Amino acid sequence: MGHKKNLLNIDMKKYIINVNKKIHIINLEITLKNLNKVIKLLRNVKNLEHNLLILCVEKKTRMFIKTSCQKLNIPYVNKRWLGGSLTNFITLKSSITNMNYIKIILKNKNFKIKKKEKDFTKKN
């Protein structure tokens, strides 16, 4: 199990035990130890009733993340992720609210809206 040699992430060097035919071989013992740490952490987070979102965009692990999160009833994203969705959440929420407001105005048709707002609604 491993990754192509040319796709090396420097932080992963400590997990690589060998290179075979231009593929890094990952040390599964260290990986298992760290996975157990993550499982312990996830249990603690869930027991403390904190919100948790699992984000995975790797094609190889999508199904694993989906089935695992569904079993544990944890929200997850395993497909394309819109960058900045969490860090810019307030701005994103404001834009969505504004777009919904413009849609309501368009349905009413008694209001005059600016050309710029009309163009925005046509795109979406």
Domain count, the chain: 3
Both 20 and 31 in one domain: the answer is yes
Question: Are the CB atoms for 53 and 76 separated by under 8 Å?
Answer: yes
Question: Domain range holding 117?
Answer: 89-123
pLDDT digits (tens, 9 = 90+) for 20-78: 887 888 888 988 898 889 888 877 877 777 778 888 878 888 888 899 888 878 888 88
Both 77 and 102 in one domain: the answer is no
Query: Alpha-carbon distance 2 to 12, whole Å?
Result: 11
Question: How much is the pTM?
Answer: 0.48
Both 3 and 39 in one domain: the answer is yes
Both 40 and 68 in one domain: the answer is no
pLDDT digits (tens, 9 = 90+) for 82-114: 777 778 888 888 988 988 887 887 777 666 666
Both 42 and 56 in one domain: the answer is no
Is the per-residue pLDDT at 9 higher than 70?
yes
**Residues 6 or more apart in contact with residue 119 via CB below 8 angstroms:** none
Q: Which residues pair with 3 in a beta bridge?
A: 24
Both 3 and 44 in one domain: the answer is yes
